[in-house]
Structure formats: structure tokens, C-alpha cells
Amino acid sequence: MRTLVRMLAARSGQLLVPGSLGNDLGLVANTVKRYVSLLEEVYLIKRIPAWSRILSSRATMTPKVAFVDSGIAADIIGTDARSLLRPGGQFGALLEGFVLMELARQIGWCAEDVNLFHYRTKDQVEVDAVLENRRGEVVGIEVKAASTVGPADFRHLRHLSERLGDEFLVGIVLHTGQQTLPFGPKMLAMPVSSLWEVAAPH
């Protein structure tokens, strides 16, 4: 179990594939699934389901896994502030996991009924987070572990926008910088800090 927890911490924000984890651990996939369910029951991890309301048969249905506490995940894999900033480090994955959990927490007190998903196709089109309300309106969110954003960072959000039309409300790239900038119709770059700048209702 300890090795599985370490592997899940290293894969926070990534696809959860029990068969692959089982191969690495020498366990059958069903055993891994049972362990994952137990870890979710004790609120160590959270599964983010794949978004299934897309008009494409190429969408994958594999969920993502996020560690509930990204600080604990970083500690489990032995990552410190210096190693996080090294090229090829874990910062991007941990940041995405952090954002996913912050979104999950915030929709818990949201006045509107909103569900959190991720979107990925077999062609490697990926949107880190998809928020959908009961009217079928969608917000797409990408996470970029950098302080600068360019038009290319919106290509997967535009893919989603083109397929949903008016049901697509806005696409957001969250980054580690300070500025909020427009990148065309329905597209915004915003700092990760914008997630907590609006206080929860009392």
C-alpha cells in the first residue's frame, strides 16, 4: 500500500490506470482498484472522472487522480522547493493536482450545481479541468506551470469551444504569473491565485 501511495503521489493530476499501476506493483488491476477506493474513502486522493458529454467517440473515459493535499504529495515523493523548480521536476503535476482539488473544494460551496471533470481524446487533445452545470454550460481550464502564456496554450480549449458552440462559456489558462489577459473571444489567461482571491460565502 505504501508503494501505491507513493506512485499515486507522483502521478497526481495524471490519468489513473489500475492495470499500469498493477504491473509496476505486481498486483492484479482489481486489487489496485480496491486499494484506490480505500484511499479515496479516507480522503487521501480524489478521482476526477472523464467528461463524457462530448460529441466525439475519440474521448477517453479514464479518470484522473489528484492528491487531496498537494503538500503531502510533495513530501511523500521527497520533493522540496528547490527540486520542484528543476527542469523535468514534479511542479507541473503537483500544481495541476492542487488546482483540481481547489476547484473540487470550491464547487462544494457553489450556489449552482456544478460537476468537475477532465477531458482527453485519443488524439492527445487534453483539457485539465472541465466544469459543467446542469444546463450543460461548460468552462474549460488548463493549468500551466509558468508565468507567461501564449496563444498556443489555448489550442485545446479552442478545440472544445469549436465543438460546443454557445454551450462553451469560457476557456481559462491558469498560470503562475500575476496578470489577467484576454486571448480572443471567450479565452482568458489568469493567475492561479485568482482561485482563492474570492472568499467563500459565510
- For residue 75, the surrounding DSSP H or E stretch is helix 70-76
d(CA 129, CA 151): 19
**In a domain? residue 202:** no
Looking at the structure of the chain, the number of domains it has is 1
**3-state secondary structure (DSSP) of residue 15:** strand
Side chain identity at residue 142, one-letter code: E
Query: Which residues does residue 129 pair with via DSSP β-bridges, in sequence order?
Result: 141
Task: Note down the domain range covering 191.
Answer: 2-195
Tens digits of pLDDT across the chain (202 residues): 899 999 999 888 889 999 999 999 999 999 999 999 999 999 999 999 999 765 555 678 899 999 999 999 999 988 877 777 777 678 888 999 999 999 999 998 887 899 999 999 888 889 999 999 999 999 999 999 999 999 999 999 999 999 999 999 999 999 999 999 999 999 999 999 999 875 444 4
**In a domain? residue 200:** no
**In a domain? residue 74:** yes
What stretches of 81-173 show up as alpha helix (H) in DSSP? 81-84, 91-109, 155-164
